[in-house]
Structure 1
Amino acid sequence: MSGAGSSVKGKSAVLLLAHGTPDVLGEMAEYLSKVTGGRALPDEVVKELQHRYALIGLRETPGVEAPPLTKWTMTQAYLLEQALGAGKVYVGMRNWHPYIADVVNEMRRDGVTHIKAVCLAPQNSRTSVGLYRKAVLSTATGIEVEFVAGWAESPLLAEAFAKKLRPVWAEACEETGQRVPVLFTAHSVPCRTIMTGEASVAGARPGTPVQDSPDPYPVEAKRTAQMVAERMAAVGFQEKDWFFAFQSQGVSGGPWIGPTVEDTLKAIKAEGHVGVVMQPVGFLCDHVEILYDIDIAFRESARQLGLKLWRAESLNDSEVLVQALVDVVSGQYKATVDEVMVPA
């Protein structure tokens, strides 16, 4: 499945881009090889990730319902298509079915001549958005591509997160009888990703492209968090009430950016707090980094520190998120957009 609903009207269509996730546990090794660019991971890593995915519901055989990331991404595409009212919204995944290349070819067969590509990763990073861009352009020969490289500062995106955060923060404060801090998170990336061109040359592996500017990702991730915090002010939320950390550092080796969630939880406990509310602002729907990393692993880390952990619901089928996407696609929100390209 690469989209939903009506047929393409005209020659322009929206392509939503996401990470992808395996459908069954037996696909884990192949899936991870896509994530690492073909580099095989040790068996113990594959088995550990199979264990984590099993805990969030992935099975040995296909179930009635798709895995959370697939289910919610397809739902978001359907809701966006309905909100736009015209044209088909396609979904392409970088690391699993439906692959971006297959979906772009489908769009070509459908007569699409202009693609508006939007990453469901609002903060621009070379390890995410940059790879999506490469995947689209490598197969979109002869098709105009308008690629949205970032929409981290969308006011409606911030409001979508704030709407999910308000009730759980109020619940945590009422239950504890004190102000409970919020820990905003985004997915960590390798340190080499955010280095300047000069630093990259010094520490790069042979063949690594030289970057001539810092990666905007950590700044954009924290800016999204700041905007959510600002929208919480109406319910008494203050600057001192929030922290930020990068979660889910990878298993591929080398240093990844921090601070980590684990270290930040220790700092929160050291300040005398009895609980924490977590909200990942770099993710738009439920998947393993939320359902396992936060709901299971970080909850246990917090428990061992004597902290109760709450989590704001993921955006998933949020109406406000869909409107944010409408604004990005329509140009109402001035996202960071690459100029229109026609790959040769």
Structure 2
Amino acid sequence: MPKQAVLLLAHGTPETVEQIPDYLRNVVSGRPMPEHVVEEIQHRYSLIGRSPLTELTLQQAGLTEAELARVGQPVQVYVGMRNWRPYIPDVVRQMRVDGVEEAAVICLAPQNSRTSVGLYRRAAQAEAGAIRIDFTDGWADHPLLAEAFAERLRDAQARIKAETGAYAPVLFTAHSVPARTVQPPAPDENQPRHWPGEGVDPYEKDARKTAELVAARVPEVPAWYFAFQSQGASGGPWIGPTVEATLDILASQSVKNLILQPIGFLCDHVEILYDVDIAFKEYAAGKGIHLERPESLNASATLARALANLAERGLKKLRTA
């Protein structure tokens, strides 16, 4: 029987503030980055100390490996990062050295965009060589993903109910992306965009679907909203609505307590620890809104079950192909 393994792919993050310029060059594929943007991102990292994304992702891999062993699928779970160490190509080469012949590959960005998740797929396949790969394109509607977020949201609702006497509305968020990467141009443009597949890029629909599934599992939520966060500094529009614009509207409707839950991120990193816990909380407070955030999934056992389930599916497909 071929030797099988699982590969989890994530964004990656530098270990120190000094590494951020090199890291950002990876993120933008070597394109020039304005110095003021680099300095701002360094400032944000300095305020949170460091991003724990790498260690939390490795922990998630360990939990997934343990869950697979528990259900009778004892395989090694590797972790590769697109923009920092351990880089995806290096990890896939190590898998070849280790004798891996088949791998279930899962991107830790559940909401699929062909232009972002697609980059992870290409990075893994470019080094795969003889390794046969089953790649999970998207898993935004996986019931265990929704349940993992719902568990965290229930805890947050219980806290805010104890503090205020009432449940709070929820603002779900996912990372924004440049509009040009997910929205086809107008039909009258001379050079229409050809996606690597049929139809509209699924990212926005996927993100809203995850939010809908989480909300359905927490019926005490009195109302919920959706926004895209962490718009970048590159030229051109990014998809919205923004969190700030949504907070403006909610403030005008006299909302005083609000839970913001990012459903596009699986662990703590700068877009949560700075963007949400510092920037959005300060912005909300300036509008008279007390903003709470549920705990991130991080070491969630339910998330590990979701990843193990996806891995089982992929490994089975490889065995029976």
User: What TM-score, normalized by structure 1, do the two folds share?
Assistant: 0.86
Q: Are the counterparts in 2 of residues 69 and 285 from structure 1 also a CA contact under 8 Å? A: yes
The letter for the 1-side match of 2:54 is: T
Give unpaired runs (5+ residues) of structure 1.
1-8, 59-66
Q: How does 1:68-107 map to 2 (within 5 A)?
A: 68-85=52-69, 86-107=74-95
The answer to whether residue 235 in structure 2 is matched with residue 253 in structure 1 is yes
The aligned residue for residue 22 of structure 1 is 14
Which secondary structure state, in structure 2, belongs to the residue aligned with residue 96 of structure 1? coil
Which of residues 246, 249, 262 is equivalent to 1:264?
A: 246
Name the aligned partner's letter for residue 31 of structure 1: Y
SS at match of 1:150: coil
Aligned-pair CA distance for 1:197: 6.8
Aligned to 1:50: 42
Aligned equivalent of 1:215: 201
Cα offsets for 1:226-268 (capped at 9, x unmatched): 00011002xx334xx1000000001112110000000011111
> Given the alignment, which residue of 135, 147, 154 partners 1:147?
135
Map 1:30-41 → 2, pairs under 5 A: 30-41=22-33
Matches within 5 A, 1:222-241: 222-233=208-219, 236-238=220-222, 241=223
Q: Aligned partners of 2:237 and 2:260: how far apart in 1?
A: 24
The answer to whether the 8 A contact 2:5-2:100 is kept is: yes
Aligned to 1:157: 145
State how 1:154-303 maps to structure 2 within 5 Å. Answer: 154-196=142-184, 210=195, 212-233=198-219, 236-238=220-222, 241-303=223-285
Cα distance in 2 for residues equivalent to 1:191 and 1:52? 25
Q: CA deviation at 1:10?
A: 5.1
**DSSP 3-state at the match of 1:139:** helix
Report the CA distance between 1:329 and its aligned residue: 0.9
Other structure's SS at 1:38 match: coil
- Answer yes or no: is the 8 Å Cα contact 1:74–1:91 preserved in 2: yes
| Cα contact 1:121–1:128 (8 A) shared by 2 | no
Q: 1:281 to 1:200 in 2, by over 3 A?
A: farther
Structure 2 Cα separation of the partners of residues 323 and 213 of structure 1: 31
The 1:201–1:114 alpha-carbon spacing in structure 2 relative to 1, beyond 3 Å, is: farther
Shift of 1:318: 0.4
- CA shift, 1:199, in A, is 5.5
User: Do the aligned residues in 2 keep the contact of 1:162 with 1:229 (CA within 8 Å)?
Assistant: yes
| Cα shift at 1:200 | 11
Counterparts of 2:131 and 2:117, CA distance in 1: 19
Contact 1:197 1:210 in 2 (8 A): no
Q: Which is further off, 295-304 or 10-19?
A: 10-19
C-alpha displacement of 1:20: 0.3
CA distance in 2, matches of 1:267, 1:116: 43
Structure 2 contact 2–102 (Cα < 8 Å) conserved: no
Taking structure 1 as reference, are residues 46 and 209 closer, same or farther at Cα in structure 2, changes over 3 Å only?
A: farther
Distance 1:121 1:200, change over 3 A: farther
Distance 1:93 1:250 in 2: 20
User: Structure 2 length normalisation: TM-score?
Assistant: 0.92
In the superposition, relative to structure 1, how do residues 209 and 38 fare at CA in structure 2: closer, same or farther (>3 Å)? farther
CA contact (8 A) 1:32 1:40 kept: no
Mapped contact 1:33–1:39 kept (Cα < 8 A): yes
Equivalent pairs counted in the alignment come to: 313
Q: Distance in 2 between matches of 1:17 and 1:186?
A: 18
Query: Are the equivalent residues in 1 in contact too, given 2:8–2:80 (CA < 8 A)?
Result: yes
Give the percent of matched residue pairs that are identical in Structure 1 and Structure 2. Answer: 53
Q: CA deviation at 1:203?
A: 7.5
Q: Which residue of 2 aligns with 1:327?
A: 309
The 2-side partners of 1:199 and 1:192 are apart by 14
